[in-house]
Amino acid sequence: MTSSDSSTAPTQTPNSDPAAILQAAATAPFGTVFGEVMSVARVDDGGWTAPSLESLASFSLHPGTHALHYGSSCFEGLKAHRTIDGGIRPFRPDKHAARLQQSCGRLLLPPPPTELVTELIDMAVAANASVTPPAPGSLYLRPTMLGTDITIGAAAYPSHSAILYVLACPVGDYLPPRPLTIVVETEIPRTTPQFGVVKTGANYAMALGRIDRARREHQADQVLFAPDGIVQETGAANVLLLDGEHLVTPELTDAFLHGVTRDSLLQVARSLGWKVEERTVTVDDCIEWAQRPGAEVGLMGTAAVIAQVGTLVIGDRRIDLATRDAADSKLVELRRTLGEIQTGARSFTFA
């Protein structure tokens, strides 16, 4: 890493009123209350600057910035959890750094070195410790990369300069804590095939129309994209089917995001001795599974954690899944186990 920035020392004062921020976050929608400090690094032809802390409001963008016109932006989402030994630990930051690098690669943005990303994450966590709620709350971290070349002519050229910053939000639930209604979309994919594994805003924009329609027409919470009957993912999480200790999830392809939560849960389930299958999952599989007594369908993601699906809407059909008692639910067991790992109550080494 080269440094073209002389202001390497943290310059930002801590959060001005942590109690008020935490109180606001307890009732506000996910991701709308921010810690006042972010960590930042910039890159240009001279290399990366050293990471620094800045006030949330401290950078401005020229209206002709490449990212604003040509979509040269990507992001990550991970959480830092308060641990039982009094620390605050980000969950699998290396894995998120690797995915950010992959996203940058597809967008021809300069990929940030892993140590830079993890240092920025650590700095954001430390600077926002006072606004990190206890479990089940957490500090949601949003490493964000924007191409910052000032040009509206470079539609066919990448941005050489970029800013990478890590925002921090105290959060609770992203999805409502009740069984979800999911519309299954069989006509269109969530995004274009070459961008399925990229965590970029355009993908969310492409999915929005169908999600909005599902919300209006079916009071749905999300859409499960299954073009031509092959299940991919929902707009903000991967999907899993559970029947007792048998877990099935779509095998990884380039068509959808390779979730860190998915990877973590598969490792946990295998370690518990469960049967784990990664394979093509069809809409017919989902219909059959949803009608099995005791089977469960869930969503898994950083924000979503592990959420229970209560109803699948497929064309004109509404299939209500039989609900299981929490004591009897393998989905609940997986969620609890993951939470114990994240808070350090259970030790687990991820591959």
Partner whose footprint covers residue 257, from ligand COI, ligand PLP, none (CB < 5 to 8 Å by kind): ligand PLP
Q: Shortest distance, CB of residue 213 to ligand PLP, whole angstroms?
A: 18
Instruction: Give the end-to-end CA distance of the chain in Å, rounded to a whole number.
Output: 27
The binder of 166, among ligand PLP, ligand COI, none, by C-beta within 5 to 8 A per type, is: none
Instruction: For ligand PLP, give the closer residue by CB, 70 or 195.
Output: 195
Residue 310 vs residues 1, 124, 278, 297: alpha-carbon distances, Å: 49, 36, 22, 8
- Side-chain half-sphere exposure of 341, counting CA atoms within 13 A: 19
**Stretch near ligand COI under the rule CB under 6 A, chosen from 7-15, 131-139, 285-293, 298-306:** 298-306
Closer residue to ligand COI in complex, CB, 52/144: 144
Residue 231 touches ligand COI, criterion: CB under 6 A: no
Q: Name, in order, each residue with C-beta under 8 angstroms of 57's C-beta and a sequence gap of 6 or more.
A: none
Contact of residue 233 among ligand PLP, ligand COI, none (CB under 5-8 Å per partner type): ligand PLP
Q: Who's near 168: CB < 8 A, 6+ residues apart?
A: 34, 35, 37, 38, 124, 125, 127, 128, 131, 139, 140, 141, 142
Judged by CB under 6 A, does residue 237 bind ligand PLP? yes
Q: Which residues contact 125 (CB under 8 A, 6 or more apart)?
A: 80, 88, 90, 132, 139, 141, 168
CB-hemisphere CA count at 13 Å for 251? 4
Q: Which does 49 bind (CB under 5 to 8 A by kind): ligand PLP, ligand COI, none?
A: none
Q: Is 77 in the site for ligand COI (CB under 6 A)?
A: yes
Which position among 302, 308, 342, 343 is part of the footprint of ligand COI (CB under 6 A)?
Answer: 302
Give the tokens for residue 137: 């709350």
231 lies in the binding site for ligand PLP (CB under 6 A): no
Minimum CB distance to ligand COI smaller for 265 or for 290: 265
Please return the burial class of 14, using the count of CB atoms within 10 Å of its CB with bins 0-12, 13-18 and 19+. Answer: middle
Q: Using CB distances below 5 to 8 A depending on partner kind, what does residue 260 bind out of ligand COI, ligand PLP, none?
A: ligand PLP
Q: Could you give the 3-state DSSP secondary structure of residue 251?
A: coil
Q: In the beta sheet, which residues pair with residue 171?
A: 138
Cβ(124)–Cβ(141) below 8 Å: yes
| Comparison of 48 and 91: residue with beta carbon closer to ligand COI | 91
> According to the binding rule CB under 6 A, does residue 221 interact with ligand PLP?
no
Nearer to ligand PLP, 54 or 340 (CB): 340
Residue with Cβ nearer ligand PLP (59 or 348)? 348
Residue 227 structure tokens: 């073009």
Query: Does 303 help bind ligand COI (rule: CB under 6 A)?
Result: yes
* Residue of 15, 238, 311, 343 that binds ligand PLP (CB under 6 A): 238
CB of 234 within 8 A of CB of 309?
no
Instruction: Map the footprint of ligand PLP across residues 257-276, applying CB under 6 A.
Output: 257, 259-262
Q: Backbone dihedral region of 86: left (phi > 0), alpha (psi from -120 to 50 degrees) or beta?
A: left
Positions in 48-87 near ligand PLP (CB under 6 A): 77
Among 301, 309, 313, 342, binds ligand COI (CB under 6 A): 301
Residue 301 in contact with ligand PLP, rule: CB under 6 A? yes
Q: Are 35 and 170 in contact (CB under 8 A)?
A: yes
Q: How far apart are CA 74 and CA 240, in angstroms?
A: 25
Pick the stretch among 183-191, 267-275, 296-304, 329-337 that binds ligand COI (CB under 6 A).
296-304
- Which positions ≥6 away from 298 have C-beta within 8 Å? 239, 240, 241, 242, 306, 307, 308, 309, 331, 334
Residues within window 111-170 making contact with ligand COI, judged by CB under 6 A? none
Q: Does 236 bind ligand COI (CB under 6 A)?
A: yes
Residue numbers of the site for ligand COI (CB under 6 A)? 77, 174, 236, 301-303
Residues of this chain that interact with ligand PLP (CB under 6 A) are 77, 233, 235-238, 257, 259-262, 301-302
